[in-house]
Structure formats: structure tokens, C-alpha cells
Amino acid sequence: MKSHRGFITPLLLALVAILLIGGGAYWYEWNKHKCDGGDVCGAFITEPSTTSFTASPMSGIAPLATNFFSNWNDAISPQGLRIDYGDGETDYLCNPGELCGRPAHIYKKAGTFVAKLISGPVGSQGQVLDTVIITVTSAISGTSKYSDTSFGFSFEYPTILTESIHGANVVLTHLVKYPHADVCDMKGGAPSLQNITDFSVAITVRDTNLETTIQETGNAAFKASGDLKPITIGNNAGYVVARGVEGCGEYQYLFPLADGRTLFVKRAYVTELSTSVSNYKTYRAVAGVIQPDQEQAYFDSIIASFKLNK
């Protein structure tokens, strides 16, 4: 009977080599990822491929307390994650082996701050994983009052806004010079814009009741579809509808008044500052821009102050 010894020996040697090489590769990967200094050692650490870093609120009046959040909550970072708040202060969002989250950071002075989520301990350069723009303003020094004797109404608005009259509309705007492409140019070829219009509201009182105003402003279909939503701002209860596509358009508000007329308000989308635009953070970082949270607060204060003159 013929012996197979000459065949078996090379085969065994090949199997041993595979095990040694494979084991060495495994040890290398394990050793490469193991932790130091009291971390969870010897564990494989899988970090998220993408990181979200958010804050709330992102704008307001100083002193502003802002909370920061990240989707790293379920991850263990070997060196921890820290926040550079952009105002000269730094803190850990989470340390190795801990869940992320820290008490609110207080921004004491007005300014635009770029908060950064950074991997690595304090003192190291680390890697910037994401950024958030925080805008802090000084307390509003005062408001202006608009009073319309023809239509018999009045309201107050922050002095940072510019008032103008266009037909039957009182228009409140705020512009910041910043040349850029028209983000709402769907067809291409539109001229560049010279300013970011970060606040644009048109206010008028129509001599028709709510139902007639809904019809005349082309909102009957939105009411039928349920897209005309109830809303209350201050003592004014009415309806709002979003009219636009791809982040471009306006909100329309309709509030029935005690004398049978209707307060009709148009509020333009600030598309450049919305997350529908990929580089919205660039626009939000422009000095002097009214941030979305603040724009909402200004609008709410204006509508809440609206009243009919006696």
C-alpha cells in the first residue's frame, strides 16, 4: 500500500502557517483598538461613520444657556469627545466609557460662535467631527410701534427691522450684505443676490371675513386637504399654511379679527439658513445674520403685539 506521508506533512505545515498568520492579524487588530488609561481595554471600538452635532437653542439673547447633543451617545471613544464652545471655553461632552451629555453652556456675551465637536483629550489637536453655529445677541434695546389709522390697527416690532409700505402691506425686513448665488434658482441663469434677506414679513388687514379671505387668497384647496393648520400666537388664533417647494416659498397666516375682518400675513422662507441647503452653516456664520430661532421669536412677538385700535 502506498504511503501518503509525503502529502500529509506539507498540508499540516500549511494549516499551521494559516493559523499563525491569522492569529497574528487578529492580535494586531485587537491590540490596535485596545484602550489605555482605565478605558474598556481589549474591546473592539466601532465608531459611527457619520456624526451629528446639534444644539438647542442655537440663538438668543445673552446670557444664553445652550445644550449640546451628539449621536455618539452609544459609542465609547478611546480618548473622549470634547466641545470647543468657540468662546474660549472647552469641556468634555463625554469621557471614555460614559454616556454623552453635559449641563448647558452659558454664553455670556453677544457674538457668533462656532462650537466644535472634537475627538481626543484636551491639549491634543484632535479631529473636528462637526460644528454648530451659535448666535448670541444683546438684549433688544427697544421696539418701534406701527399704527395704521386707515385700517385701524397697530403692532410693535424690534428696531433692528426696517419698515416700509407696499400698497396695503406693511413690510418688515432685515438684510445682511453677502453676495451669493440665488439658492431658489431652479432653472439656472438667475443673477446673484447681493444680500441675505433673513427676515421678510408683510402684514395687512383685509376687509373680508376669514372664509372669504381663504377663498380669495387661494387657500381653499389647502383647507380641504388639511394643510391649513390651526395656530395661536399670543391672543391671536387662526391658521397657517406653508406654500412653497424645495425650501423656497412663504408661510401665509390668516387670523379672524373681532370686527369681522382678517389679519393676513406673509412670511418668507429664509432658504439660505434652512437645512434644505447643503452649505447653510456658511450662511448662518455670516456676521449680523438673524438666526432661525431669533427670526421666529421676532415674528411671534410682532403678531402677539398686534391689536385693533379703539
Domain membership of residue 252 (yes or no) is yes
CATH classification of the domain holding 126: 2.60.40.10
Find all residues with CB under 8 Å of 267, minimum gap 6, and list them: 200, 201, 250, 251, 252, 253, 299
83 lies in the same domain as 156: no
Which of 137, 170, 190 is where one domain is finished?
137
Q: What is the pLDDT of residues 153-164, one digit of tens each?
A: 999 999 999 999
Single-letter code of the amino acid located at 48: P
The answer to the question of residue 40 being in a domain is no
Query: pTM above 0.85?
Result: no
Total domains present in the chain = 3
Q: How far apart are CA 42 and CA 29, in angstroms?
A: 10
Q: Is the domain of 5 the same as that of 27?
A: yes
Q: What pLDDT score does 218 carry?
A: 96
Q: Do 128 and 160 reside in the same domain of the chain?
A: no
- For all residues of the chain together, what is the average pLDDT? 80
Confidence band (pLDDT; 50, 70, 90) for 182?
very high
CATH number of the structural domain spanning residue 209: 3.40.1000.10
* Omega before 121 within 30 of 0, i.e. cis: no
- What is the pLDDT averaged over residues 63-73? 77
In a domain, residue 211? The reply is yes
**Residue 275 CB contacts under 8 Å (≥ 6 apart), including other chains:** none
Average pLDDT over every residue of 231-250: 93
Per-residue confidence (pLDDT) for residue 28, from 0 to 100: 34
Note whether 157 and 272 are same-domain residues: yes
Residue 165 has pLDDT above 90, yes or no: yes
Does 236 share its domain with 94?
A: no
Q: Which domain holds residue 92?
A: 53-137
- 157 shares its domain with 288: yes
pLDDT over 90, % of the chain: 44
State whether 82 and 160 are in the same domain.
no
Sheet of 127-137, strand order: 59-61, 127-137, 111-119, 81-84, 90-94
Q: Does residue 161 or residue 2 have the better pLDDT?
A: 161
More confident residue, 221 or 151: 221
> Would 162 be classed as within a structural domain?
yes
Which residue, of 81, 109, 137, is where some domain finishes?
Answer: 137
Statement to judge: residues 113 and 187 lie in one domain: no
Confidence of residue 81 (pLDDT cuts 50, 70, 90): confident
Co-location of 149 and 109 in the same domain: no
pLDDT at 263: 97
The pLDDT confidence band at residue 73, using thresholds 50, 70 and 90, is very low
Distance CA 69, CA 89 (A): 17
Same domain (yes/no): 206, 108: no
User: Is residue 264 one of the residues assigned to a domain?
Assistant: yes
- How high is the pLDDT of residue 33? 35
Q: Is residue 41 part of a domain?
A: no
The mean pLDDT value for 172-187 works out to: 94
Mean pLDDT of all residues in 127-148 = 83
Whether 228 and 209 map to the same domain: the answer is yes
| Residue where one domain finishes, among candidates 137, 164, 190 | 137
Cell numbers representing residue 102 in the block:
453635559
Q: Name which residue leads in pLDDT, 253 or 22.
A: 253
Q: Does residue 42 belong to any structural domain of this protein?
A: no
> Which of 28-37, 39-48, 200-209 is the most confident on average?
200-209
Q: Are strands 53-56 and 81-84 parallel, antiparallel or unpaired?
A: unpaired
In this structure, the answer to whether residues 110 and 71 fall within a common structural domain is yes
